Amino acid sequence: MLTIKKVLRGVKYRSAQDLSGLRIRDIADDSRKIKRAGLFVAVRGHDTDGYKFIGQAVKKRAAAIISDRDFKAPKSIKKIIVKDARSALPLIADNFYDHPSERLKTVGITGTNGKTTITYLLESIIAAAKKVSGVIGTINYRIRGKELPAINTTPGPLQLQSLLSLMLKNKARYAIIEVSSHSLDQDRVARVSFDVAVFTNITKEHLDYHKTMKNYFLAKAKLFKKLKYRGVAVLNNDDKMSAPLRRLIRNKVLTYGIVKRSDILAKDIKLSIDSSEFTVSTPKGSFRIKTDLIGRHNISNILASVAAAAALGIRPDVIKKGIESFRSVPGRLESIDPSNPFRIFVDYAHTEDALYNVLSLLKDVVRNGRIITVFGCGGDRDRTKRPLMGRVACKFSDHVVVTSDNPRLEDPLSIISEIEKGVKGTFTNYDIVPDRRSAIKKALALAGKGDVVVIAGKGHEKYQIIKDKKMPFDDCKVARELLA
C-alpha cells in the first residue's frame, strides 16, 4: 500500500480533509473494479463520464475519490478535487506503479501500417539475445508467454502502467509498445518514457477522428517528445513525412529504407510468394537475411526492427538470428492450407496503402494465376478511404468480391455503395456479396490451380461487429471450413 501523498506527487489538488494517514491499496477509473481501500478516479471519457459513477464507488467503500467536480460522499471517504481528472490520471498511475518505463528499455512504434509486425520481430530478436520482453499491441498483450486480450491497441494510462509494472515483476527488461495516434492524442502514454521511438509511415486513416492529415501527423509526432535523454528516433526514410518529422526531433536519429539512402538499407532484394531474401547494410557492416515474411512492406518492417534493435545495442548476428527464426504474424498475410492447388492469404489490410502493399506484391510474384480479392470497409470509420480501397482492389486483382467488414451501426449496402464509387464506370471485374461468409465462399469457388485468394480487412479478428454486437467470425476459420 502507498501513501496518498506518494500517489499524488506532482498533482495539484485540494481537499478539506486530513489525508496524512491515508494509504491506497489499488486504483481504478472504472467503478466496477473498485476494491476496498482503493482510489477511484472519476474521469470524463469520450462516451461515459466517471463522475456519474461516484455513487457506485461510494457503495464499494473506496478509500478516496478524485474528481474535477465536487460531489457528495460520507466523511469516511476522502474527497480530492483536481483541475482535470483525465490529465491527472497518467501521473497518478505512474506514481502508483513506481515509474516502470524508467526501469525498462522501452520501444514505442507508431505509424499507419507495420506496427504489429515490428513488435513481433523485435520480440523475436530480444528472445534471440536471451532477454525477456513484454509486448503491448493490437492482437494481444504478451508477458513471458502469457497472452492477455487487447481491448485497445494502446490501453489507457492505468492499464498501461499496470502492464509495464507486471513486465518488471516477470523479469522482463524490455517493453515493446504499439502507440496509436488515438492514444497519443488522448495522453494515454503521457507518463511513459521511451528509449527508442519508431515511425513507419502515414497514409489516410482515422480521419473520422483526427479530421485532417496534419492533425494525424501531429498526433504521431508526440511520441518523439517522450524519448529519454539518450533515446533514439527510428524513421522510415522512404515515407515523405519523415523529413518534417525529423525537424521536430532533438534526439539521435537512425533512418531505414529501401529506396532512399539510409543508415539501415536493404539491397539485392529477391521476392517470391514463399519468402524474401535481401542484404541489410548497417553502419556496423552488412548481412544477408532470408525470411518467411513476404513483400517489400515486410522488408521495410524488418529494417525498422533492425534499426530499433541496433539502437538498443543488440549485435547484428543476434538480430539476424531473431529475424530468420520468426515465422509469421497472425492475420498478416497468413497462409491458409498451403497444400491447396491455389493459395489463400488472410490479411489485416484495411487502408488503401496496406491493400496496395499486399496486392502489388502478389501481382509481382504470381506468375501463372489470378488474384482474387475479398474485402470490405468498416462502418463508423473514415469514409474517404472507401472508394480508394475499391480502386486499388480492382486495379491489382483479376477479380474482386466486395463484401462487409465490420459494418457497426452503418448499413452494409451503404458502405458498399461508397466503395463502388471508386470503381463504377472504370472497372467491371467485381461482384457484390454483402454477406462475408458467402463472399469468401464465392472467391474460393472462383479459384483454380495457381490462383491466389486474398481475404482482406479483418486479419486476426475473431468477430464481426454488426450494429452494437460482436458476432463470432474468423476469416481463417471460415476459409478452412469452406475448404473442408
Terminal C-alpha separation, the chain: 56
Read off the CATH number of the domain in which 188 is found.
3.40.1190.10
**What pLDDT score was predicted for residue 151?**
86
**What pLDDT score was predicted for residue 119?**
98
Instruction: Work out whether strand 133-136 and strand 38-41 pair parallel, antiparallel, or are unpaired.
Output: unpaired
Same domain for 192 and 300: yes
Residue 102 φ then ψ, to 5° = -75, -20
| Dist CA 180 CA 199 (whole Å) | 11
Q: Calculate mean pLDDT across residues 79-102.
A: 97
Domain span at 12:
2-86
Sign of CA pseudo-dihedral 458, 408, 382, 219:
negative
Read off the CATH number of the domain in which 42 is found.
3.40.1390.10
| pLDDT > 90 in the chain, percent | 92
Sign of CA pseudo-dihedral 84, 89, 94, 96:
positive
Determine, yes or no, domain membership for 153.
Answer: yes
| Dist CA 225 CA 251 (whole Å) | 9
Same domain for 316 and 189: yes
Same domain for 284 and 166: yes
Read off the CATH number of the domain in which 407 is found.
3.90.190.20
Determine, yes or no, domain membership for 379.
Answer: yes
Q: Calculate mean pLDDT across residues 471-481.
A: 97
Q: Please count the other Cβ atoms lying within 10 Å of the Cβ belonging to residue 16.
A: 9
pLDDT-based confidence at residue 398 (cuts at 50, 70, 90): very high
**What pLDDT score was predicted for residue 205?**
79
pLDDT at 44 over 90: no
200 in Cβ contact with 112 (< 8 Å) = yes
Q: What global pTM score does this model have?
A: 0.93
Residue 472 φ then ψ, to 5° = -55, 125
**What pLDDT score was predicted for residue 47?**
72
Determine, yes or no, domain membership for 469.
Answer: yes
pLDDT at 203 over 90: no
Q: Calculate mean pLDDT across residues 392-397.
A: 98
The type of residue at 314 is I
Q: Calculate mean pLDDT across residues 82-87.
A: 95
pLDDT at 211 over 90: no
Last residue of some domain: 86, 115, 134?
Answer: 86
pLDDT at 227 over 70: yes
Q: Calculate mean pLDDT across residues 199-217.
A: 87
| Dist CA 110 CA 100 (whole Å) | 20
Q: Calculate mean pLDDT across residues 29-48.
A: 88
Determine, yes or no, domain membership for 93.
Answer: no
Determine, yes or no, domain membership for 110.
Answer: yes
| Dist CA 254 CA 267 (whole Å) | 17
Same domain for 357 and 314: no
Q: Calculate mean pLDDT across residues 341-355.
A: 95
Specify which residues 459 forms β-bridges with: none
pLDDT at 37 over 90: no
Same domain for 378 and 246: no
Same domain for 347 and 318: no
For residue range 448-468, list pLDDT tens digits in order: 999 999 999 999 999 999 999
Last residue of some domain: 269, 295, 324?
Answer: 324
pLDDT at 206 over 80: no
For residue range 280-339, list pLDDT tens digits in order: 999 989 999 999 999 999 999 999 999 999 999 999 999 999 999 999 999 999 999 888
Same domain for 271 and 133: yes
Last residue of some domain: 324, 344, 363?
Answer: 324
Higher per-residue confidence, 145 vs 8? 8
pLDDT-based confidence at residue 204 (cuts at 50, 70, 90): low
Structural domain count, the chain: 3
> Which three-class secondary structure string do you get for the chain?
CEEHHHHCCCCCEECCCCCCCCEECEEECCHHHCCCCEEEECCECCCCEHHHHHHHHHHCCCCEEEECCCCCCCCCCEEEEECCHHHHHHHHHHHHCCCHHHHCEEEEEECCCCHHHHHHHHHHHHHHCCCCEEEECCCEEEECCEEEECCCCCCCHHHHHHHHHHHHHCCCCEEEEECCHHHHHCCCCCCCCEEEEEECCCCCCCHHHHCCHHHHHHHHHHHHHHEEEEEEEEEECCCCCHHHHHCCCCCEEEEEECCCCCCEEEEEEEECCCCEEEEEEECCEEEEEEECCCCHHHHHHHHHHHHHHHHCCCCHHHHHHHHHCCCCECCECEEECCCCCCEEEEECCCCHHHHHHHHHHHHHHCCCCCEEEEECCCCCCCCCHHHHHHHHHHHHCCEEEECCCCCECCCHHHHHHHHHCCCCCCCCCEEECCCHHHHHHHHHHHCCCCCEEEEECCCCCCEEEECCEEEECCHHHHHHHHHC
C-alpha separations of 364 from 3, 43, 359, 451 in Å:
62, 51, 9, 13
Determine, yes or no, domain membership for 58.
Answer: yes
Same domain for 76 and 142: no
| Dist CA 228 CA 160 (whole Å) | 18
Same domain for 319 and 446: no
For residue range 110-135, list pLDDT tens digits in order: 999 999 999 999 999 999 999 999 99
Same domain for 338 and 319: no
Closest CA relative to residue 110, chosen from 12, 267, 222: 222
Same domain for 224 and 119: yes
| pLDDT > 70 in the chain, percent | 100
| Dist CA 332 CA 132 (whole Å) | 24
For residue range 92-113, list pLDDT tens digits in order: 999 999 999 999 999 999 999 9
The sheet carrying 252-257 orders its strands as 146-149, 140-143, 133-136, 174-178, 105-110, 194-199, 227-236, 252-257, 264-271, 276-282, 285-291
For residue range 173-190, list pLDDT tens digits in order: 999 999 999 999 999 999
| Dist CA 330 CA 157 (whole Å) | 26
